[in-house]
């Protein structure tokens, strides 16, 4: 059994994962990292026909499973055709204004090379590279040319190429490592593919029955911060998204666990978009959401200002709070340990209130 990892190890895994090249349908670098990491931590990895990865303790418990879910992709361009003109496709939500002057790098088997977009068609999300890129292959990833992840350079902030959702994956794996080291066998992590193009990996996991029967799903995201849900305010218990409200009993139990464990946190709707929790809940699972507030969502600086015409589009690394990240690890661990210790206390509190105040109804 591997030693229990420190928070320094969690930060290192966070830095490693958020630096990897990835795109919807091209998550192989992340998959390889996880496959190399898991055996060193005494964990097993299995995959389904869609390439989603289920990471779990070698000895699994008969207790009802709790599964944290995070996705392995991030918005990027992927090479579709080579020849006289190299055609690329944007996979993921990035406003077209940000593409015009984007500094890009082509990720190849021999290492990254700087490239430029010669043209980009926002209606088809297709573009063409200029002719100076050298050898290229179909399926190569073209991503924004940012420096490697920087840990805590600005106090509590991590700035990285792709926090969404590799920071979520790092938090889930860190919690799994901690729980498995303590002999907790009913917690697992599902890492999904192609979330940025309609969470098709999560849908596949439901259709293929990748999750253990009866699993409770904790769907993790990195979601754009707001004045009501800021970076540094603690991990967010996400009660719903733009498409649905998640399983109420499970959501309430997660919130109660956070309060009981005295983990600083936020409880928010986060309705700016839809996430994998909606897919899991709609397709037969008890599911709720957790997220980290994110600055420069999808690497876009001040998207509201750009949409209104008041700002010039500029790409930059995404940023999260390290204290939020460690809080999410703590919360996942607490939920896995305490979820089945009892039902929500809300009905009991309501009945107690009624008992004390029902005389007012006479």
The domain spans of the chain are 7-74+149-342, 76-144
Structure token pair of residue 147: 């420096």
What percentage of the chain has pLDDT greater than the value 70?
97
- What is the model's pLDDT at position 154? 63
Mean pLDDT of the chain: 93
- What is the model's pLDDT at position 135? 85
> Exposure pattern of 144-176 as b/e (b: 16+ CB <10 Å)?
bbbeebebeeeeebbbbbbbbbbbbbbbbbbbb
| 265-280: average pLDDT | 94
- What is the model's pLDDT at position 216? 97
Which helix (H) or strand (E) segment holds residue 31: the answer is helix 28-40
- What is the model's pLDDT at position 26? 98
- What is the model's pLDDT at position 151? 67
Instruction: Look at residue 330 and tell me whether its pLDDT is greater than 80.
Output: yes
What is the distance between the alpha carbons of residues 16 and 195, in angstroms, rounded to a whole number? Answer: 20
Fold category of 7-74+149-342 in CATH = Aminopeptidase (3.40.630)
Structure token pair of residue 47: 């995959």
Cβ-contact 215, 252 below 8 angstroms: no
CATH number of 76-144: 2.40.30
- What is the model's pLDDT at position 100? 86
């Amino acid at each position: 059994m591997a030693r229990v990892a420190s928070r320094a190890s969690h930060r290192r895994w966070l830095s490693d994962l958020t630096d990897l090249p990835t795109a919807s349908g091209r998550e192989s670098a992340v998959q390889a990292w996880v496959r190399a990491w898991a055996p060193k931590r005494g964990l097993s990895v299995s995959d389904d026909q869609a390439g989603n990865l289920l990471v779990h303790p070698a000895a699994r418990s008969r207790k009802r499973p709790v599964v944290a879910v995070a996705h392995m992709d991030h918005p990027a361009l992927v090479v579709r055709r080579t020849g006289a003109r190299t055609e690329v496709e944007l996979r993921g939500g990035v406003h077209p204004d940000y593409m015009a002057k984007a500094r890009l790098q082509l990720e190849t088997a021999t290492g990254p090379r700087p490239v430029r977009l010669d043209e980009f068609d926002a209606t088809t999300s297709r573009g063409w590279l200029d002719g100076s890129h050298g050898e290229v292959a179909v399926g190569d990833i073209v991503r924004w040319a940012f420096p490697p992840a920087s840990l805590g350079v600005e106090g509590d902030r991590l700035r990285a190429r792709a926090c969404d959702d590799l920071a979520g994956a790092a938090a889930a794996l860190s919690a799994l490592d901690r729980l498995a080291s303590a002999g907790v066998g009913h917690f697992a992590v599902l890492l999904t593919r192609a979330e940025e193009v309609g969470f098709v990996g999560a849908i596949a996991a439901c259709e293929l029955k990748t999750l253990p029967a009866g699993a409770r799903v904790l769907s993790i995201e990195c979601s754009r911060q707001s004045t009501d849900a800021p970076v540094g305010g603690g991990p967010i218990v996400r009660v719903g998204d733009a498409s649905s409200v998640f399983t109420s009993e499970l959501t309430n139990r997660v919130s109660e666990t956070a309060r009981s464990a005295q983990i600083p946190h936020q409880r928010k709707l986060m309705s700016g978009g839809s996430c994998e929790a909606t897919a899991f809940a709609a397709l037969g699972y008890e599911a709720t959401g957790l997220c980290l507030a994110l600055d420069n969502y999808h690497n876009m600086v001040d998207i509201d200002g750009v949409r209104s015409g008041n700002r010039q589009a500029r790409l930059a690394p995404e940023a999260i709070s390290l204290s939020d990240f460690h809080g999410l690890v703590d919360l996942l661990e607490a939920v896995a340990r305490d979820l089945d210790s009892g039902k929500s206390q809300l009905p009991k509190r309501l009945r107690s209130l009624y008992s004390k105040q029902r005389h007012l109804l006479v």
